């Protein structure tokens, strides 16, 4: 995934930033759980999206409306997971950053 998907580099970079911020801001165990789950869900969604896109390309190499819809739905799951992870990050980190 990291070799072929540019977005996975961005997602991994943001995950590293969240981990560094977690240590810097000394977040609680419960907050760590939410950060780990949110980060894991985004990366899992990206892996599944990559697998689906690869399979669709293999099964339907020519342009196909239904194949495109399948790819869009898979990409949408990554977007939803990313938005949820962003919300978790804002809820956990923003009050701590504003307090510093």
Name the fold adopted by 6-99. Answer: Helix Hairpins (1.10.287)
- DSSP 3-state assignment of 60? coil
Global confidence as pTM = 0.87
pLDDT of residue 2: 64
Asked if residue 52 lies in contact with residue 74, where contact means CB atoms within 8 angstroms, the answer is yes
Give me the residue label for tokens 């020519």: 62
Reported confidence tier of residue 23, pLDDT bands at 50, 70, 90: very high
State the catalytic residues. 46
Paired tokens of 66 = 């239904």
HSE-up of residue 52 (Cα within 13 Å, Cβ side) = 18
Paired tokens of 54 = 């690869």
- The residue ranges of every structural domain in the chain are 6-99
Residue 74 to residues 10, 15, 35, Cα–Cα distance (Å): 18, 21, 23
């Amino acid at each position: 995934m990291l070799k072929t998907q540019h977005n996975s580099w961005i997602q991994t970079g943001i995950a590293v930033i969240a981990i560094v911020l977690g240590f810097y801001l000394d977040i609680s165990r419960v907050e760590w759980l939410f950060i780990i789950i949110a980060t894991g869900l985004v990366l899992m969604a990206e892996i599944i999206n990559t697998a689906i896109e690869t399979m669709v390309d293999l099964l339907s190499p020519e342009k196909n409306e239904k194949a495109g819809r399948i790819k869009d739905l898979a990409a949408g799951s990554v977007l939803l997971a990313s938005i949820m992870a962003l919300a978790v990050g804002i809820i956990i980190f923003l009050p701590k950053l504003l307090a510093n």
